[in-house]
Structure 1
Amino acid sequence: MKSSLHPDWDSDRETRSILLRFVAFAILVANLVLGGNEGAMTTHHVVVVVYLGISVASVATTRFLARNSWLNTLFVVLDALLVALLLYAHILGGPVSENHNLTTSGLVVAFILLVHIGLKLDRRLVLVFSGIVLTSWVTMLAITAARHPADDVASLLASFLNQDLGLTVSFGFTAFAIYLLARDHDRTRREAIKADRRRLNLSRFFSPFVVGELQERGDALGLQRRNAAIMFVDLRDFTSFAETAPAPELAFVLGEYRQLVSQTIFEHGGTVDKFMGDGVMAVFGHPKPTEEDADRALACALELVDALTDWKRHSNRNGLPALHAAIGLHYGTVVGGVLDSGCHSEFTVIGDTVNVAQRLETMAKSLATPLVVSSDVISHLHSTVPYAAWVKQPLAMLHGRREPIDVWYIGRRDSGRTDNPYETEGRQTATQRSDFQSVPRAKDVDTA
C-alpha cells in the first residue's frame, strides 16, 4: 500500500530497493567470476541471467505499473525461487558431505534480497519471500540429513542439527525482525493517515491555530455544555440571485463570500459550525473557551460588516450582483462538540442561544441593518463597546419567542433597501435580464 502522506517517500523507498537489487546482482556476478563454485557453475550462470531479467522487469514495473500488486508479488516469488536454486546448488547439487559449501557470497545474496523485500515495508511480501526460502532451505537440509549414513535416530538428528541449520535459523530471525518492522510501519502509517484525516476534518471548522493546539493537546471534542457566542451571517436576496444566475457565476460569488467570512472568523479565533447555502454559522468559545469570547465575536462581526461592504463595492465595480449581508450575534449557554456518525464527523452546537442568534440575523434583514447584537453580548464584554453608530432597541420581540430581549443594532443611512436589490451602478442586474452576459474570471475581480 502506498503512503498517502508524502508521495516522495514511496519514490525514495523504491529507489533504495532498486539499488539493493543491483547490489545483489553485482555480488552474484563477482561470485561467478571469482570461482569457488565448482560443481555449480551452470546453476550460477542460470541464476545470474535470470536474476538480471527479473531485475530489469522489476524496475520497469516500478516505473510504469507501480500499483500492480500481483506483479510485485510475482517478482518476490521469483526472487525466492532463485535463492532456493542457489541453496540447492550448494546443499543438494554436490556429493553428500558434512560441509555443503555455503559460501559467504551465496548467503549474502539471500540476506540482501531479504532486506530488499523488507524495504518495500509490506509484511505480506516479507512472509511470501521468507516462507519460500525457509521452507526450501529446511527441506533440503532434511533431505541431506536423510542421505547421510545413519545407524539410529540420534545420528540422523546430528546430521540435521548442524551449522547449516544455524544459518537457516539466523535467516529466519532476520526475516521475523523485518516482518515486525513492516508491521510497525503499517500501524504507524495508519495512525498517521488517521491523524491527517482528523486534521483535515477539524480544519473545516477551526482555524489552523486551534487545529494545531487540539492535535498537540489531544483535547476531547465530545459534547460539552458551556457559554459561547453564536453568530449567523446571511445574504439578503440571495435566493432571487440564485434563481437567475448561471451556475459558474453562482459558484464564483458564493465561493468568494464564504472564503471572506470564514477567513475573518478564523482570524478572530472563531469556529465555523456549518455553511447553509449563503448562510454561515460561527461559534466563539468552543472548543476552547476564553474570557474574551464576546469581545472577539463582536470584533469579528464589526470587521465582517466592513469587509462585506467592501466586497459589495468591488462586486459593483466588476459587474457582479452586490448583495447586502445581515449578521446576528448572541451570547449564552450552548451544548457543542464533534458528533461522530461513523463515516462522517461533524462539529455542531445546539441550544436556545443558537435559535436566538439566528432570529437576530433575521431581524437584521427586517431592520435593513448589517448587524444586530443582543444585550447579552454587550454585558459580557471585558472591554468598552467598540465605536459604531449603535442604536439600542429595548424589549425587541423575536419570532417564535415569548420573552423579548434588548438588542443593539447599527443604524446606517446607506443600509436601507433600494429598489434595485443588486446595486451595479448603472449596469443591468440579474432581475433585469434572464441571465448574465458573462462570467468574470477570478483574476478580473478585485477581492482586496
Structure 2
Amino acid sequence: MKSIAKHWPRIAVTLLPLVFALLHAVGVVRLDVLQRLDDIIYDARLRATSPKTLDDRIVIVDIDEKSLAEVGRWPWGRNKLGQLVSELFDQQQIALLGFDVVFAEADESSGLVRLNAMAQNEFKDQAGFSERLRQLQATLDYDAVFASALAKRPVVMGYYLTSDRHGHSTGVLPTPIMSQADLQGRAIRSTSWSGYGSNIAPLAKAAPMAGFFNSITDGDGVVRSLPLIAEYKGDYYESLGLSMFRALAGHPAVLPGFSNERFLSRSYQGMDRVLLKQGDKSLAIPVDERVATLVPFRGAGGVDGGSFRYVSASDILAKRITPGSLKDKIVLVGTTAPGLLDLRVTPVGETYPGVETHANLISGLLDGNVLLKPDYALGYDVVMLVLAGLVLAIGLPLLSAPRAVALSVGVLLALAGINFWLYLSYGLVLPLASSLTMALTAFALNMSYGYFVESRSKRELAQLFGTYVPPELVDEMVKDPDSYTMQAANRELTVMFCDMRGFTKMSEQMEPLQLQALLTGVFSRLTSLIRANRGTIDKYMGDCVMAFWGAPVESAEHAHLAVKSAMEMANAVRDINHEHRAQGLPEIGIGIGLNTGTMCVGDMGSNIRRSYTVIGDAVNLGSRLEGLSKAYGVDIVVSESTRKLAPDFAWQELDRVRVKGKEQAVAIFWPLAPAERLNAEAANELKTWANFIKTYRSQNWDQADVLLLNLMRMNVKKYLYQLYSERVASMRLLPFDPEWDGATNFETK
C-alpha cells in the first residue's frame, strides 16, 4: 500500500486511457477510429475463419451479363419469368424458390394494353379482330402468365422497404408476422421504415409469402448485417432469408424473445432472439438490438467464389441444364450484372452480389451458425476495460521495465485470447479495439509521462469551467477539484432557452457593426443576470442564449434561481427598450423557456471542438417551451416540473400542450411575480382564471364566455384572454368530445 501511495501520480496517468476507453464504450465520447479498428478486426477474423467450402444445398440462378445478352435487357417479359419458374419446378424439381428481385409495376411489354385500346376504337367494327384478341388474351397477359407459374408453389417473393419524407409505397405487402401486441408493450429498436416497393397484386396473390431484401450498411460503407425483422406502421415483417428458412421449416409462427429480467433492469426493452414455434417445438435465432444478425459469410462471393453454385438464367431458359440436376435445391434468383446495381461492399469482397448475402444467411440458419453481437457487448467491454486497466494501472508503476513489458504483453494476449475463444466457440462478436488500444496507450503513458501536481489540476479545472460558470463558483470548485469532473452524468437540472425577438428585422435595418454592438450589449446584461443567479452559460446560438442551473456545482434551488433569473431578464429587456426608444434604436423582445428534469451533463462534442453542455428530452422540451412564448403573448413559459420546485412565485397556468416529439401533454405556466408581492387585484384575477381553465377543459362554453368577459374587464389588453376567446368561439362549433384532454397540440418546433 505504501508503494501504491508513493506512485499514485503514475497510477492516475495510467488510468487516463481507461477513462477515455470507457467513455467511448458507453457512447459519451465516440472515437470513430476505435469503431473502425473493431470493424477491421471483425472482418479479418471472419475471413480467416470462414469455411471457404461449397454449400450445395443452395443454388443462385443468376441474371448475368450472358443472360442479358441472350434474353434481352432487363426487365424481361413476365412470360419469360413464368417460363423460368416452370422450368425450375417442373424440370429441375427444386424445393424452394426465392426472388431477390421486386416486380413493382405491371408488365405491358406484350402490347395487350394497346391492342385492347385498338379493339375499342379504330377496330371496334371488326369482329374478327376482337375475337382473335380475346383468344390471345391469356397468352398476352404476361403478369397472369407469371402469376399462374407462381401459384401453389413454394415461392418467396422479394420486396424492399424504404424511408423518405413522403413515404412512397407501391405494390402489396405480405401479411405481417408480428404486431405491437406480440411485443408485450415493449418498444424494440428494430429498423423502421415509412414506405416500401413490393410486388403487384396478381403476383402477391399468387405467391403470398414474401420477405424484404434490405441490408444494413455500416458507417464505413460495408454490409455486415441483415435485419431479420423490420417495422412498418406498427406491424413487423420478415426478411427474405428468414421467410425462406421458415418455408423450409414448415412455416412456424414467429414470436419475440426477450432477455431474462432477473439479470436485467425491468426498463430494458431489447429483443434478443426471434422464436420460431411450431407445436411443441421451438427454435431461437439470436439477434442484436436492431433485430438483425451478422451475415456468416462462407468465403469469397460471385461465380468463382466457391461458396455457392451459380447457374445462368439463360441456361435454364434454353434448357441447357440437365433435368433434375437441381432437384431438392434451394434456389435464389438474383443478379451479378453490374448494370443492375446489386453489388455490395462486404468483409469478404468489394463487389459482392447482394443475392449471395441472403444465401449466406439461409446457409447459416440451416447450420445453426449465426454470428451475433449480443446486447451485453457493452457490459463485456466495460468489464474487460476495467479489469485490464486496473491490472496495468497498479502493476506497471511497481515493476521494472522488462517486467512491465511482460505484464503488458500478457494482458494484450489475454484480452485477444478470451475474445477469440468466445467468437470461435459461441459465435459471439464482442468489442476488442478499445481494450487493446487502452492497454497499449496505458503502457506508453506509464513509460513516458510523470504526474500532474495538485496546483496544476486546480488551474486546469478553473480553465475548463471558467468560461461556463461564475468566478465565485470556480473558486468553490478549486477548493476540492477531485469532486468535480466533466465526465457525463445524469442529474436533475433546470435549463433555460432565451431567444431575442425581432432580430431578423434589426439585421435588415442596421449596419453589421451597429448590430454587433447592440447584440453584445444585450447579451452582456442578460448574461450577467444569469451568472449573478449562479447559472452556467451553455452556449450562444445567434440571437439565442442557453443556460442551465444545478451543474457543475449542485444546488437544491436550481429551479428557483432559474425562474428568478428569467424574471430579472424580462425586466432588463423592458429597461433596454426604454433606453432604445430614447436613442432611436429598434425595440427588442425576448422569449424564455424553462424546464426541469433529468439531463445528461458533461463534456461533449467532437475531437475537434468540445463544450460542457446538457442534452436529453428535458433539454428539448425547454427549447420547445421557448418557442411557445410568442403563441401565448408572454415572455416566459415554464413547465410544471419547474413550477413545482419554485413555489415562491405566483403562477398563471397558460395551457396544457403537446409539443412536437412528445406524446404526453405538459402543463405550462407564466410567472407573474414573487408570491409575497402579488396584490389582491392580481390574486382575484388568478382565481377567476383558474375557474375559467377548469370550465374550459370541461367544455362548458357558456360559463367559459362569462368568465372570459370578467377577465377582459380586469385586464383588457392581455393577449392570453383574447387568444382563449377565439378558441372558445371555435370550440363551440364542435360537438362535445369526452376524449378531449384539454391539451393543445403544436406540430412545429
If the TM-score is normalised by the length of the shorter chain, which range does it land in?
0.3 to 0.5
Whichever structure has more strand as a proportion of its residues is 2
**Higher Cα Rg: structure 1 or 2?**
1
TM superposition score normalised by structure 2: 0.28
TM superposition score normalised by structure 1: 0.46
